[in-house]
Every structure is written in C-alpha cells, then in structure tokens.
Amino acid sequence: MAEIILVRHGQAMSHATDEKSYDRLSDLGREQARWLGEHMRDTNPHFDAVITGTLSRQVDTARAMGYEITVQDPRLDELSYFALAGAMEAQHGLPAPRDATEFAIHLPQVIEHWTSDRLADVPETYAQFAARVCGLIDETCQHGGRILVVTSGGVIGMAMRHALGLENGGMAKLMLQVMNSSLHRLEYVQESLMVGAFNATPHLDHPGREHARTFI
C-alpha cells in the first residue's frame, strides 16, 4: 500500500511574465507553507520520504513546511506555461491573459491546443509531460509507504487525471481549482490507484486567514 500526499507550492510571484521570475515564493506563499507544516505536525507528521521537483518554489515550500527533502526529481517540475502561452500567441494569435479571469479562459485553450499537438517549438510535448508525471506516480506507488510530494498545479492535475481516467478537458478544469499550498491524497491499494482527497486546505480554515486562499 502507498499513500501519496501531493502539495502544491505556496503562492509564487503571480505578476511575473516568465518562468524564471515566477519561480520564487511570495511572502504569503512562505506563510502558507509554514501554516501547512504546523498543521501536519499537529495531525500526522510522519513521511517515509519527501520528494520535490527541482524548482525553487517547490523546494522552498517543503523547507518552509519544516521537512528535509529526500530527493529532488525533475519529473515533478511544472509544465512550461509561459512558453506554451507564447507559442499560443505566436502561432494562433491568442494573447496572454492580463488577470485571473482571463487566465481561467486562457489555460483550457492552451491545454486543448497542447494536448492535440497544435503547438510547435515548445519545451516538451504533452505526451512527454504525461509520461514523466504518470511514470513518477506509478514508481512511487510501487515503493509503498507514506510519501510527501511537493510540486505544482499542472503536475497535480495530471496526477488526478491519471488516477481518475479523465479527459484532457477535465484535467484543465482541475488545474484551475488547485489552490496554493493545497493538499491532495492518492492511495494505491490492491493494485488500484484511487483519489482520497482533492484541494484540501485545513490550515487556511482558521479565522483571519481568508486572504490566504489563493490560486495564482
């Protein structure tokens, strides 16, 4: 049996316009991670391994939670959204979003073009992204134990698609709902991968933390 606790990183630099500038936690993102770590220590603190991607916002979230990282695996790195958005504008004339409302419309369109191989000259194909994320999830299931995985929203969306057998449009809808520092649980029991929880934020339920419920 394996229990995989997926965590999306805390809020990053949401007004950035490129991958490098985005890859830093905001002050609120660090606080979200610290609160989540406190919640875990008060409930069920033990993990057999802690895995993150190689991105700074993922690594820094795990550390702000108070956990030592067992391994950094690039298969947990986020999809290259800014590169995909640039290709979408250059090849199909759809400009990048200017705010959260436009982003909610833009992301499903980008994902639909990417999954149908209508975006050229991007860092990786959709098939490559799916293979790396699903491959890591499957490997982790085989190892067993209780594993903390700190990653990003796109990776979590793909992991949920893998567990639930969703269509790509369903995956895009899930990605839009993944909150910063949210918890998601996958359980591998009797050779079956199941979803035990999605988008939980118990550490943000305290009065006065309403402002910390962020998506971007």
Domains of the chain as residue ranges with CATH: 2-142+153-185 (3.40.50.1240)
190: left (phi over 0), alpha (psi -120 to 50) or beta: left
- Lay out the sheet containing 183-189: strands in order across: 71-72, 49-52, 145-151, 2-8, 183-189, 192-200
| 169 pLDDT above the threshold of 90 | no
What's residue 198's pLDDT? 97
Query: For 150-159, what is the mean pLDDT?
Result: 97
Which candidate, 163, 173, 133, places its Cα nearest to that of 149? Answer: 133
Give 54's pLDDT tier (boundaries 50, 70, 90).
Answer: very high
Give 98's pLDDT tier (boundaries 50, 70, 90).
Answer: confident
Query: For 190-210, what is the mean pLDDT?
Result: 96
Question: pLDDT exceeding 90 applies to what percent of the chain?
Answer: 87
What's residue 118's pLDDT? 97
What's residue 99's pLDDT? 86
What's residue 150's pLDDT? 98
What's residue 170's pLDDT? 86
Which candidate, 140, 208, 179, 182, places its Cα nearest to that of 39? Answer: 182
What's residue 14's pLDDT? 80
What's residue 216's pLDDT? 87
DSSP code of residue 212: G
| 167 pLDDT above the threshold of 90 | no
What's residue 168's pLDDT? 81
Point out the least confidently predicted range of 61-70, 79-88, 93-102. 93-102
Give 17's pLDDT tier (boundaries 50, 70, 90).
Answer: confident
| 186 pLDDT above the threshold of 90 | yes
Average pLDDT, the chain: 95
What's residue 15's pLDDT? 82
Point out the least confidently predicted range of 10-19, 87-96, 178-187. 10-19
Helix axes 100-115, 81-92, angle to 10 degrees: 80
| 146 pLDDT above the threshold of 90 | yes
